[in-house]
Every structure is written in structure tokens, then in C-alpha cells.
A = this chain, B = another copy of it.
Amino acid sequence: MRATVYHGARDMRIDHVPDPTIQAPTDVIARITHACICGSDLWPYRGIDANQSGGRMGHEWMGIIEEVGTDVRNFKKGDRVISPFTISDGTCEFCHKGLQTSCVNAQFWGGLTNDAGQGEAVRVPHADGTLLALPASVENDERLLKAILPLTDVMVTGHHAAITAQVGPGSIAAVIGDGAVGLCGVIAAKRLGAERIFIIGHRENRLKLAQQFGATDVITAQDEQAAQEVREKTQGGAHAVLECVGTVDSLNTSIRLTRPGGAIGIVGAPHLSALPDLGYRFFQNITISGGIAPARAYQPELLQDVIAGKIDPSPVLDMTVDLDGVPAGYAAMDAREAIKVMVRP
């Protein structure tokens, strides 16, 4: 089969790789119908994270099950499934708690060990614990499938930011970052009842989309200036801050615009170049929470709302490519010409 393989910074190739086969009785094989390129894929693409050459790419995918291991109980051939962006066994303490990312058997998609989403097919380890079946009613509804696809990562990640930032009815929320996760964070904050939602970013088309999703206030200033504007407009800061970037500047901006006693939900993978302002955090009793989103825990609830038409994150997918178009998709996201790329292998 063909799949996206990392050969170094800015060198993604569509290579011929071995077809996946069942290796353990808990595996399934799925044919990929939809996948995405993630903002976090840009870290290795840009050479900031050192991925190993030859590793597979893509942790966001939807597909149809083609083959089922003998111990798999929840799925059969022909089922349409979505995957969370991590693999989990579904049976350990942390899976039962809804923290599947800390599963004692957690694995990531791709790299040198596993298949990955940006290809024709995948072997799915721990299929029963990992995958979520979609109802038959969604089949052939391409508009709905596109709205469901972000539940593989960005929509659940934005939701995790909102949950861990403790957004609730009446909250003043602030979202740092206007990438796909930040935009989904706006959807999530609105869904959880935020009364006022600041979006801090600087790309006009994305900020407009944020407003469509429910942002009430747009801040285009950066760093301390952005924090000051939010503090002034709210007489003290936002109760709930969704940190959707991961740099030390974005973390410091988050800390500085949080209301005393408020909380920050961090979902931007941390790439910190300096000590963040944990002194201010301390004296204002600001809670830093969040982390890698336990996508599998949130998918059922959010899927219901997508199917019911209550939320629709599909506008973040503003470019579509086939497998041969994946390298161009990376380049478009790197240049910020696309918010997020959908792949149809």
C-alpha cells in the first residue's frame, strides 16, 4: 500500500510500504477513508521536533474495518470507525478514569512502530479500547463525515482545553491561538456556556471563523499587550483560558490574562524556550491544567452533538488533498495558506 513517510524536515513522501496484517488477536485492519494533517505534524515537518526518518505520519483518521482479530469483540468487518489520536487498551485504571492517553499500554500512531493515518490502511492495536464505531446513519453523508472527522483530534483537543480551563455557564473565556485547535476551542467554550469568548490571534480569515463559531471579542495584539487588553476589557482577566499554541510566549500570555483564581487549560504541545512566569501564577492562584487530550473519553458525547447538528467543526478543514497531494498539504499548512488539510486516500 501507499503511505506518507517522513524523510526529514520539509521532506514528506508517499512511499510504498508493506500492507498491514493482523499481528495480535486484539488488532483490526482498517482502510482509511478520511485523514488529516495536524498542526502538531508541523513540528517535525519544520525540523523543530526530530522525528526518525522512515517513520509514518498521521494520527487523525476515519475508516472502514476490513479484517478483525479473533479477540476483538466490539467491531466487525464493514464498520465505519473513528480513531482517537492515541491507542489505548480500554481496560486499565486510566482508561476507566477517562484518561486513555495515560493508558498503561498507550501507543502513538505512526513513527517506526505503527501504521498511521496519512495512508491507505492501518493495523489498529487494542482495537476494542481504541476505536469508536459510527452509526450506520452517517454513511454516505459526506458533509456529516467531514464534521465528524475533527473528533479524531482538534475538536476533542479544543474541548479538553475548555474542560480543564473550567469553562462553565457565564464564564469569560479566552482562547490563545487561532489554529484549528483554537477555533475548536471557541466551539467548545460556547458549547459549555461561556458568556464571553476572546480569541487571541492574528490571521483575519481565522478570526472571522472564530467569530462565526461564537467568539465575542477579537484581540490581535500579542504577548503582554494582548493580556493587558483582555484584563482591561474584563476588569481583571478571563476566568478560563484555553492555551492552544504551546510556546513560552503563549503560556505567559495565558498566565497574564487569567483572572486571579482562574484556570488555564493547556493543549498546545509544550515547546518552551524559557522559564514561564510561574511567580505570577503563584501569587494569583492560577491553576495550570490540561495536557494531551484523552480523545477517546470525549468522542461519544461530542459525536452526538455533531450528528444532532449542535456543533460543526468542519469549516476548519479548508483544503482537501488525495494521498499524492499530502506533501503539498503540509506546505500549505506550513505557509498558513490552509488552516487544516483533509486527506482522502
When distances are taken between beta carbons in the complex, the residues of chain B under 8 Å from A269 are: 282
Determine the distance from Cα of A99 to Cα of B236 in the docked complex, in whole angstroms: 14
Contact A261/B97 with A102-B285, A274-B275 known, Cβ cut-off 8 Å: yes
Contact, CB under 8 Å: A272 / B270: no
Contact, CB under 8 Å: A283 / B101: yes
Interface residues of A in 289-336 (CB under 8 A from B): 289-292, 294
- At the interface, yes or no: A107 with Cβ under 8 Å from chain B? no
Contact, CB under 8 Å: A279 / B270: yes
Contact, CB under 8 Å: A261 / B292: no
Interface residues on A, range: 20 to 34
Interface residues of A in 243-284 (CB under 8 A from B): 260-261, 266, 269-270, 272, 274-276, 278-279, 281-284
Determine the distance from Cα of A266 to Cα of B288 in the docked complex, in whole angstroms: 11
Residue of A93, A164, A288 most packed against chain B (CB within 10 A): A288
Contact, CB under 8 Å: A99 / B275: no
Determine the distance from Cα of A272 to Cα of B288 in the docked complex, in whole angstroms: 17
Residue of A99, A282, A284, A290 most packed against chain B (CB within 10 A): A282
15 A-B pairs with CB atoms under 8 Å apart are: A94-B260, A99-B261, A101-B285, A102-B260, A102-B283, A164-B285, A164-B287, A270-B279, A270-B282, A272-B278, A281-B291, A282-B291, A282-B292, A287-B288, A288-B288
Q: Given A164-B285, A272-B279, 18 more contacts at CB 8 Å?
A: A93-B236, A94-B261, A97-B261, A99-B261, A102-B284, A266-B282, A269-B282, A270-B282, A272-B275, A275-B275, A281-B288, A282-B290, A283-B292, A284-B291, A285-B291, A285-B294, A287-B289, A288-B289
